[in-house]
């Protein structure tokens, strides 16, 4: 069973943490073929107090991973283990975490924070707060997740789902099937990064607003997150 543990760790665990390799950081790009390829997916409505956003269903993502032998073995491993977190490998990006909805509702009541601003969401996963920022008038939004496969299977499809026309007929569970391509004009207003925070200090952009929610699972991750925030935050920015 997974549990948060910010307290003192046994010496053996500390040694494992020191040895643990972290994911390299890089910008995630899409080829022309990837942008133009038709994608059939199952999505669902996520309703907050004031908004209605869409996200790709976790079961649909899991099905694609299970069907594709070339898919990221880390995500397949997380499915096999029924795990939301595999330290140093998978950081729970497929799942929409409760605090991201809390952050979304905060932004709904404070749209002036992001209107006309450059925003980055760190540890974005399904990326609903960052997507809302686009709808609330942000001029540019960057999305970052630990796993590249999460960006490709969840984050980017969710951006396109929420910035293109979607049918309004849903089943009893708020789900619907949707065919689309990734070639959306909204992708001109966003970019994507993958990797560990410690390896993303190469990013040169400065952001007016930095968002993150429910992204810290181990105390040792805090310094790299703070260092990245200091690197990316514009003068007079907010995080």
The pLDDT value given to residue 1: 40
pLDDT at residue 173, as a whole number: 76
Task: Check residue 2 and give its pLDDT.
Answer: 45
What pLDDT, on the 0 to 100 scale, is given for residue 142? 98
User: Stretch 56-62: mean pLDDT, rounded?
Assistant: 82
**Which has the closest alpha carbon to 157: 37, 26, 63, 27?**
37
Q: Provide CB contacts within 8 A for 31, sequence distance 6+.
A: none
- Summarised one tens digit per residue, pLDDT across range 186-208 is 899 999 999 999 999 999 999 99
- Domains located in the chain, CATH noted: 26-238 (3.40.50.150)
pLDDT for res 164: 86
Q: How does pLDDT run across 91-133, given as a tens digit for each residue?
A: 555 667 688 899 999 999 999 999 999 999 999 999 999 999 9
96 vs 38: CA distance, rounded Å:
24
Q: How far from each other are the two terminal CA atoms of the chain, in whole angstroms?
A: 32
pLDDT-derived band at 12, boundaries 50, 70, 90: very low
């Amino acid at each position: 069973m997974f549990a948060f543990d910010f307290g003192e760790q046994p010496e053996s665990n500390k040694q494992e943490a020191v040895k643990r390799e972290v994911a390299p950081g890089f910008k995630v790009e899409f080829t022309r073929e990837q942008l133009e390829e038709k994608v059939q997916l199952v999505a669902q409505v996520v309703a907050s107090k004031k908004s209605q956003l869409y996200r790709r269903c976790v079961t649909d993502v899991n099905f694609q991973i299970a069907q594709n032998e070339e898919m990221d073995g880390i995500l397949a491993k997380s499915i096999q283990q029924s795990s939301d977190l595999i330290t140093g490998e998978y950081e729970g990006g497929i799942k929409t975490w409760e605090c991201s909805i809390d952050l979304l509702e905060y932004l709904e009541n404070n749209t002036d924070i992001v209107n006309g601003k450059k925003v980055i969401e760190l540890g974005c996963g399904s990326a609903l707060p960052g997507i809302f920022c686009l709808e609330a008038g942000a001029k540019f939004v960057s999305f970052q997740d630990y796993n590249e496969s999460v960006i490709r299977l969840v984050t980017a499809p969710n951006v396109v789902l929420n910035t293109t026309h979607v049918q309004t007929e849903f089943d009893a569970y708020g789900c619907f099937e949707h065919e689309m391509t990734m070639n959306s004009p909204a992708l001109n207003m966003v970019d994507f990064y993958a990797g560990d925070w410690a390896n993303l200090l190469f990013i040169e952009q400065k952001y007016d607003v930095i968002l993150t929610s429910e992204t810290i699972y181990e105390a040792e991750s805090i310094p790299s997150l703070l260092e990245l925030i200091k690197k990316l935050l514009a003068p007079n920015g907010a995080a």
